[in-house]
Structure 1
Amino acid sequence: MTISKILIAGRQVYLRRFYATTPKLIETTRDDTGIDIISMAKPPVNSINTELLSALKTSLLEAQSNRSKGVILTSSLPTIFSAGLDITEMFTNDKKKITDFWSTLQDTWLTLYSLNIPIAVAINGSSPAGGCLLAISTEYRVFVEGKHTIGLNETQLGMIAPKWFQDLYVSLLGYRQAELALLRGSLFKPEEALQIKLVDELAKDKTDAIEKCKNYILSYNNIQSTAGTITKLDMRNDLIQWMKENKEVDVNRFVEYIQLPKVQHGLKLYMEQLKRKQ
């Protein structure tokens, strides 16, 4: 064997090992009905960082382009949907890192919120802050019963829920209920979330939640897909257009706020608290 062939063979072995050991952040399967189940798989808590967001966006676009009948978003973790935005992406003085993270969040959210095929979410565990954002950006939400909670609790963390987070809340809860929940940073148990219409159904476990999500998606079998897509995008157009027109302003506002010394100090204390719990 020539030296060049040895080098090529060695590189191929290395690449196979690299891909075999690189953690997969998103797992996608397609069932026999043509529905894609997209599961976040970033232990221990599906903290939302730049890499997870990029992988999620790619998976959503692939499902859309591969003629999926619809998407069910869920988590591969047993008791957590997503613990929210990754604090380590924000606890930094690196302005470029923060900017890239927030821009990726915006882009992934736009993809999720404006997906042109039906999308439901099987919330199989805790879903605060950014996890709640992902859930409420879908069309239909099924929450597994249990002690876990869901909600935009940013104020409890010394953070501010941006306008597009707030507008989603208002669209679901109504202005007054959303205002109180955002000011208090409220987290809701499954029964409470159903009562205030933050979720559409409850399920006894993840399997049941996925089945109910499938039923929602399959309910569109007799709806002309183009008509359904246009109606969905028309109803969501105001917030979609706002984001497209205000992305830079939104990024700059977030970066300016998150870099305030008191905010960075609060993030530091929160990270120290998490370490003590581990």
Structure 2
Amino acid sequence: MQKPPVNSLNLDLLVALRDTLVKLEKEKCKGMILTSESPSVFSAGLDIMEMYRPDHNRARKFWTTLQDTWIKLYSSPYPTVAAINGHSPAGGCLLALSCEYRVMVGPKFTIGLNETQLGIVAPFWFQDCMRNAIGERQAELALTLGKMFSVDEALKVGLIDEIAKDKADAISKAEDFLDEQSGLPALARSTVKVAFREATLNRLLKNREADTKMFLDFISMPKVQQALEMYMQTLKKK
């Protein structure tokens, strides 16, 4: 990802990600590493400007494109690794969780679904990804608090799989994972992967319109808009 300064997931970046994932699948990709050009941020998550005082039609397209991107990444038949070389809050954490394996550069970066701290709510499919990675109880605690995990904490609860000393090391460890997968029969490997992820995928696929409506209704609430404005003011002060 290379959308300066922090890879905020706006509509344009999501379209680029989705289209890339579609292309990789068509080209029968053997494996993918998702990382960031930024030296300090993997992805800052959803672009607040897509939700602040939104145009209804654009907001709908933004959300359905996010759904499309997640579905393509989460269900990809080829192996995927997140080389997390910077902070990874909210939607950035979702992208990492959607990959099969996660290597994170330590020790100063953080990762988590911190939506609660921003006055918004992580959608059920974000929550499902967290639950699948770290278990019901730890996910409930983390999501309620909007917790951002340190690298060591993330490894301890299973949010990430390995710690790397720098980006080059993270890429090397990611390549090791892909090399290990390359010796497996591709169809058998992908069938097992999809079977594990099927229930989570189907929950969104069967409820896409309801999820979209919930998002649009939620960001239209005055209290949510006030919370987003307060958060933006906080960012400006920084």
Question: Is this a same-fold pair by TM over 0.5?
Answer: yes
- 1:216 matches 2:197: no
Alignment partner, residue 122 of structure 1:
83
Q: Distance in 1 between matches of 2:28 and 2:223?
A: 48
1:158 to 111, 119, 122: 119
Q: Name the counterpart of 2:104.
A: 143
Q: Distance in 2 between matches of 1:228 and 1:84?
A: 30
Deviation at residue 222 of structure 1 after TM alignment: 2.2
User: What is the one-letter code of the residue matched to 2:158?
Assistant: K
Q: Tell me, which stretches of 5 or more residues in structure 1 are unaligned?
A: 1-39
State the alpha-carbon separation in 1 of the partners of residues 22 and 32 from structure 2. 11
Task: Give 1:72 deviation, angstroms.
Answer: 0.2
Give the TM-score of the pair, scaled to structure 1.
0.84
User: Which residue number in structure 1 is paired with residue 52 of structure 2?
Assistant: 91
Q: Does 1:184 align with 2:145?
A: yes
Are 1:75 and 2:46 matched, yes or no?
no
Aligned AA (1:103): T
Q: Which runs of 4+ in 1 moved over 4 A?
A: none
Q: Return the alpha-carbon distance in structure 2 between the equivalents of residues 156 and 128 of structure 1.
A: 11
The aligned residue for residue 230 of structure 2 is 269
| CA radius of gyration, larger in | 1
- Does the CA-based 8 Å contact 2:155-2:163 persist in structure 1? yes
Instruction: Name the CA distance, whole Å, in 1 between partners of 2:32 and 2:8.
Output: 21
Query: In terms of mean alpha carbon deviation, does 202-211 or 88-97 score higher?
Result: 88-97
1:173 positional shift: 0.8
* C-alpha contact 2:104 2:170 (8 A) present in aligned 1: yes
Is the 2:155–2:162 contact (alpha carbons within 8 Å) kept by the matching residues of 1? Answer: yes
Match of 2:216 among 247, 250, 255: 255
One-letter amino acid matched to 1:228: R
Deviations 1:140-188 (A, max 9, x none): 0000013110000000000101110111111111111100000000001
Letter in 1 for 2:126: F
SS at match of 1:143: strand
2:188 to 219, 227, 244: 227
Shift of 1:240: 1.1
Query: How far apart are 1:274 and its partner, in Å?
Result: 1.1
Whole-angstrom CA distance in 1 between matches of 2:54 and 2:68: 23
Looking at structure 1, the residues matched to 182 and 46 of structure 2 have their Cα atoms a distance apart, in angstroms, of: 35
Pairwise CA distance, 1:262? 0.6
Q: Partner amino acid for 1:179?
A: E
- 2:64 equivalent in structure 1: 103
**Structure 2 length as normaliser, TM-score?**
0.98
Counterpart in the other structure of 2:167: 206
Aligned residue identity for 1:49: N
User: 1:95 deviation in Å?
Assistant: 1.6
1:68 Cα deviation from its structure 2 partner? 2.4
Larger RCO of the pair (alpha carbons < 8 Å, separation 6+): 2
Q: Distance in 2 between matches of 1:41 and 1:153?
A: 22
Matched, 1:42 2:3: yes
CA distance in 1, matches of 2:18, 2:125: 18
Helix, strand or coil at the partner of 1:219 = helix
Q: What one-letter code is carried by the residue in structure 2 that aligns with 1:47?
A: S
Please identify, of 212-221 and 132-141, the stretch whose mean Cα deviation from structure 2 is larger: 212-221
Structure 2: segments with no counterpart, 5+ residues: none
RMSD, matched Cα: 0.9
Residue among 107, 112, 135 paired with 1:174? 135
Asked whether the equivalents of residues 18 and 65 of structure 2 are also in contact (C-alpha less than 8 Å), the reply is no
In structure 1, give the amino acid aligned to 2:78: I
Deviates more, 1:126-135 or 1:54-63: 54-63
Would you say how many aligned residue pairs link Structure 1 and Structure 2?
A: 238
How far apart, in 2, do the equivalents of 1:117 and 1:232 lie? 9
Residues in 2 aligned to 1:93 and 1:219: alpha-carbon distance in whole angstroms: 45
